[in-house]
Structure 1
Amino acid sequence: MTLTQEQFDNLVKQLEVYAYRQPEDFRKRVFLLVIMGYGYILIVLSFLLWVIVTICSANYRSLWMGSALVIALILLGIVVRSLWVQIPKPKGKRLRRKEVPCLFKLVDELSIILKTPKFHNILLTNELNAAVLQRPRLGIFGWFENYLLVGLPLMQALTLEQFHAIIAHEFGHLSAKHSRFAGWIYRTRQAWVKLLQGLHKHYENSKSGSGIWYIDLLMLVANGLGFLVFGWFFKWFVSKFTAYSFVLASTNEYEADKCSANLVGGEHFAQGLISIAVKHRYINRTFWREIYQQADRNSKPPDAIPLMFQALQTEIPSDKKERWLKAALTEKTDTSDTHPCLSERLSALGYLANAFKLSQKLVITKSAAKELFSEDFLKKITMQTNEEWLQTNMGFWQVRNSYLQDITPKLLELEEKAKTRKLTFDEKWNICRWTKEIKGGDAAIPLLQNLLIEKSYYAPANHLLGKILLEKQDATGIRYIDSAVSCNVELTVSAYQLVCDFLYYEQGNTERIRYYQNKIEQYYYRQYFRSLD
């Protein structure tokens, strides 16, 4: 029986208490669950191999024996493929020691102090984040390849001390051998999920049929037996195992935090966490929005990457900084993310009470990137990243300019027309949406409000007005979004994603975010089952 979301959340809460009080016993229980899952599969595999060997070594042949052999081979293939879980290579620019010797020196020092395995690859990414990854080259058979992923925006957003603390946290996972054990647990969970997906895929393929009744019958029987043997066990097992692995990953995060605080200093690490939380919101809610708005005025995109790096080091307006930090601290730990929420991590470090005081130190006089990279290399990699961004976004700028050139005379024509005669509803709607595009949201708000007085159930107008209000940090926009979806269910995903973004970035309201995410998931479920009819 699959656990409901409420049952899963309750189980996680119980396991968190158990893991806190008896950490070693908890890890042993996780290990035993893995053995239990693999043991069940081993029993099934042994039985299938016994069936295959028995039939192949029999002295007589029959249609029934041949059918049983084919069914056993089909099930064997599904199970074996599920055990080969490959983790793809992470993407990023591979750094070399001669290019960035200072970064490699820092990495070497941390590896020695924390007694971690050496990294085979250090990759520079475009994320405001850092991570370690142990990738098994041979799937479940291991032979690990170690990766350190370092985001260039992260290095531009933090001081050297803050960056050192964040990287030390990542090394803390390897130091306590979290990564290898956690990676094994992750791959195990993926194997169970892949097995169920394989059974479902074969079931879907068998429904279409091959046109040969005998083969279709064998496929149907094989899938039926597969669900009978594995379905009931793993639907229950995967849910329970996921809860255990979630708590394990969350516990490891606290231990890695403590490792960083002991090595580099809790204040530097707390400053780094706060800086990432606030600047992540700044980049996504303000910086990129302002960059893409330039497409309304300029025919070519700006050099956004150097501008972003500069913005990550400068002062953020105090009202926005306080609002975003408050939103980050309001978030609650959720079962959708193994990382504990910011307030709980700061509390564990002893810096929650000083969070707003620490946020005053977000301005960077010299970033970690400038400390660890030479001026020539930093300039080179910045321009390369910027050139990639320009190539990716040039098309958007061209399409946007063409669109504005097309609608500008149409809007002027409708505005003149409105002075002499009454417009149709469609013409009024065009004025609303074109005004928003050309003159901005503030100019469009009263027009949309008047339009909705005439037809309150018009979904596009509700959606547009809700979007404008949410962009202005006005929570009343949610009411219009709800109205839009109630009038047109096809808007569910795009509309409620706007609400989730607003609640996350501006309010940190985890419970309401989950509420709207559930609505999106329910929509997808309805679409999926409708496609089966």
Structure 2
Amino acid sequence: MEMAFNQEKFDILIQKLEVFARKQPSAYKLRVALIAILGYAYIFVILAATLALLTGIIWLMLTSRSFNARAIQVTIFLLAFGLILWVSFPVPTGLYLKREDFPSLYAFVDELSSKLQAPCFHSILITDDFNAAVMQRPRLGLLGWQQNYLIIGLPLMLALTKEQFRAVLAHELGHLSGNHSRFSAWIYRQRSTWYRLAKELGEGGNETSWFIFEQFLKWYVPFFNAYSFVLARMNEYEADKCALEIAGTKNTAEALINAEIKARFLESSFFSNIYKRVNTEIEPPKSVFIEMKAAFIKEIDSTESNLYLKQALAEKTNNSDTHPCLSDRLDAFQCLPKNLEKIPLPNTITASAAREVLGTGLDKLIEHFNQVWYDQMATPWRQKYAQLQESLSVLNELEKKSQKHKLNAEESWQRIQLTLNFKDESSTLPLLQDFLDINENHALANYFMGEILLNQQNTSGLKYVEKAMDKEIQLVIDGCQLIYSFFIKHDDINTANLYKQRAEKHYDKLLKAEEEREYIRPKDKYQPHGLSKLQLKSLRQQLSCYSEIEKVYLVQKVLEHFPEKPLYILGVMRKVASWGEVDTPTKNAELLKQLSDKIEFSGRLFTLILTGEHSDFEKPLSKVPDALIYQTSKK
């Protein structure tokens, strides 16, 4: 189900609600409560009406002398409609831990639950994510009867001390705590339940009865999510207070900082180095989590840690997530110094939370996740290794050839890409410089050149990345990230944030561009295709292979966003027997699949069959100059 909410309207609403909640907190909470109740009111009114109709029909069927077929059909429909409310939410995935196998973990969690007056957990799961979360699964759908799950990522436990981990769990349990606002905890559950309900109904609900809910939920879920957003963010601060009460300010602050540093280390360094081994190793490593444990115990390079911390502190709270940014959370603890340079890095951990809380069971868990990771990676890893060996052979041939002859542009570019894969950046730099001397507007070459120079802390790399972003819109977000990281490393937070904002705006524009390219309508504006004679000749030759085609139109859709990236519309009129045919939709679908699979075209192509349901497209397409590009001769 589509549950998008216009970001601009969303941001405006959040700004208004933040002011309203600050000035009139009680009135704001009352409105949130009324909106929450509205959802239940709609569902139960529909349910009551359904039961009343069902009861009436059954009574008529029992008192009538004969069964009416229509009544039976309506009864079946109403039963199916009633069952839609009894939605079965899927259980979370992960490795379920038994209390008898991990008594220390359960005792640790039980103690926190008791102190925070949080509900006990029916199950605790371990996953391979760097995260921790609580999940409540309503066994009776909207009627409730919550089943509580605690989901813990093993990497997170390996990265933190026991006291830091206590702070993280206290925060998660704080969302359900009875020590603070029960109302906030209730709204926290409602936000999750409504979103998941809409998702489950949209993906697996009964299509016949789903339409009654569809329009309501399309409006209600985004609106409730937006209206309760401010409260949800306040709930994050409340959950942080629970962490402070249980673990203390120092441990809570260090948990947040350590988690940020270690998460970025895993993404930017640890797994990056793991994946590089595919260049030389035919099998994926079988001890990833053992290596991860060792990497966390070994002190991460202080320069690297400081960079990750700077990146985290540079982030600002936004409306894409209810969680406040790191600096806002630390500021709420009153432990954020004016000079961010004075924030100390957490001490190297000597004993992880995983070892202290899981005890001897840790080794079995590491063995399990090592095997899971290996099994998931084995096939794609071997395939990648084989591809790289072929590529390495090609690189060797190109290098031999370059010693005797000058490579053409295509060969030179291939050599550059392969050199980047197999050798260090210093080996690629002179190749890129020579290539750009001849192909100065090559977007990717400029990007790679800029990336290497920025990695060497050379400011001249900025102009190359900027040029790459100007030439190719798909490089803007990556380019902004490169420059953002460069300025963060050089303590220029303001300039770094300008590039972050640029990336965010560009991402929004990309979403809008994709949206206008996902569909076409007869009333859309179209313009000439603009193809060269050579391109048209190639396309016509391909179309001539299909005897069932009568004529073909080719146009461009007029686009608002990134019009330099055209969307071509190929309208195909299929021949239909003069006496009619009985299976037009099937034949249209078969032809469409053949064309989509086999037509070679350099641009983005939207193909539709004009015979049948899309016949209303022929008139607007035919009005575009030179749109008719192919027509079979009439006999």
Q: TM-score range by the shorter chain?
A: 0.7 to 0.9
CA distance in 1, matches of 2:372, 2:349: 26
Which of 175, 192, 207 is matched with 1:186 structurally? 192
Residue 436 of structure 1 is matched in structure 2 by 420
CA distance in 1, matches of 2:146, 2:335: 36
The code of the aligned residue for 1:485 comes to: E
The code of the aligned residue for 1:371 comes to: E
Matches of residues 124-135 of structure 1 in structure 2 within 5 Å?
A: 124-135=126-137
CA distance in 2, matches of 1:455, 1:132: 54
Which of 335, 359, 363 is matched with 2:348 structurally? 363
**CA displacement at 1:182 relative to structure 2:** 1.5
Task: Decide whether the 8 Å contact of 1:432 with 1:447 is kept in 2.
Answer: yes
Secondary structure in 1 aligned to 2:114? helix
Matches of residues 374-385 of structure 1 in structure 2 within 5 Å?
A: 374=359, 376-385=360-369
Task: Decide whether the 8 Å contact of 2:191 with 2:225 is kept in 1.
Answer: no
- CA displacement, residues 413-471 of structure 1 (integer Å, 9 cap, x when unaligned): 22232333332221111111111122134422442344344334545545655776787
Normalising by structure 1, report the TM-score.
Answer: 0.80
**CA displacement at 1:50 relative to structure 2:** 7.5
The code of the aligned residue for 1:395 comes to: T
The code of the aligned residue for 2:192 comes to: Y
Task: Decide whether the 8 Å contact of 1:131 with 1:150 is kept in 2.
Answer: yes
- CA displacement, residues 154-198 of structure 1 (integer Å, 9 cap, x when unaligned): 111111111111111112111144544412233224445777889
Residue 31 of structure 2 is matched in structure 1 by 29
Count of residue pairs brought into register by the alignment: 497
CA distance in 1, matches of 2:86, 2:483: 39
Q: Is 2:248 the partner of 1:265?
A: yes
Instruction: With a CA cutoff of 8 Å and minimum separation of 6, indicate the structure with the bigger relative contact order.
Output: 1
Residue 142 of structure 1 is matched in structure 2 by 144
Task: Decide whether the 8 Å contact of 1:275 with 1:359 is kept in 2.
Answer: no
Residue 501 of structure 2 is matched in structure 1 by 511
**CA displacement at 1:48 relative to structure 2:** 7.3
Matches of residues 309-324 of structure 1 in structure 2 within 5 Å?
A: 309-324=293-308
**CA displacement at 1:522 relative to structure 2:** 2.6
Which of 4, 8, 11 is matched with 1:9 structurally? 11
Task: Decide whether the 8 Å contact of 2:477 with 2:503 is kept in 1.
Answer: no
Residue 626 of structure 2 is matched in structure 1 by none
Task: Decide whether the 8 Å contact of 2:130 with 2:154 is kept in 1.
Answer: yes
Q: Is 2:105 the partner of 1:118?
A: no
Residue 469 of structure 2 is matched in structure 1 by 482
Residue 208 of structure 1 is matched in structure 2 by none
CA distance in 2, matches of 1:87, 1:524: 31
Residue 174 of structure 1 is matched in structure 2 by 176
Matches of residues 2-401 of structure 1 in structure 2 within 5 Å?
A: 4-40=6-42, 83-176=85-178, 177=182, 178-191=184-197, 231=215, 237-302=220-285, 303-353=287-337, 357=342, 359-374=344-359, 376-401=360-385
Which region of structure 1 is more displaced relative to structure 2, 351-360 or 515-524? 351-360
- CA displacement, residues 199-240 of structure 1 (integer Å, 9 cap, x when unaligned): 9x96xxxxxxxxxxxxxxxx9xx99xx69x974x66554443
The code of the aligned residue for 1:116 comes to: A
Runs of at least 5 residues in structure 1 that lack an aligned partner in the other structure:
203-218, 487-491
Task: Decide whether the 8 Å contact of 2:466 with 2:479 is kept in 1.
Answer: no
Closer, same or farther in 2 for the Cα pair 1:158/1:379, shift >3 Å?
same
The two structures, once aligned, show a CA RMSD in angstroms of 3.9
CA distance in 1, matches of 2:139, 2:464: 49
Secondary structure in 2 aligned to 1:326? helix
CA distance in 2, matches of 1:377, 1:43: 51
CA distance in 2, matches of 1:3, 1:93: 35
Task: Decide whether the 8 Å contact of 1:459 with 1:484 is kept in 2.
Answer: yes
Which of 520, 526, 531 is matched with 2:516 structurally? 526
Closer, same or farther in 2 for the Cα pair 1:92/1:463, shift >3 Å?
same
Indicate the structure with greater helix content.
1
Closer, same or farther in 2 for the Cα pair 1:529/1:485, shift >3 Å?
farther
The code of the aligned residue for 2:289 comes to: I
Task: Decide whether the 8 Å contact of 1:137 with 1:145 is kept in 2.
Answer: yes
CA distance in 2, matches of 1:318, 1:356: 13
CA distance in 2, matches of 1:41, 1:35: 10
Closer, same or farther in 2 for the Cα pair 1:247/1:523, shift >3 Å?
same
- CA displacement, residues 11-33 of structure 1 (integer Å, 9 cap, x when unaligned): 11222333345444433311201
**CA displacement at 1:10 relative to structure 2:** 2.0
**CA displacement at 1:402 relative to structure 2:** 2.1
Task: Decide whether the 8 Å contact of 1:123 with 1:148 is kept in 2.
Answer: yes
CA distance in 1, matches of 2:133, 2:274: 28
Normalising by structure 2, report the TM-score.
Answer: 0.68
Runs of at least 5 residues in structure 2 that lack an aligned partner in the other structure:
489-495, 521-605, 609-635
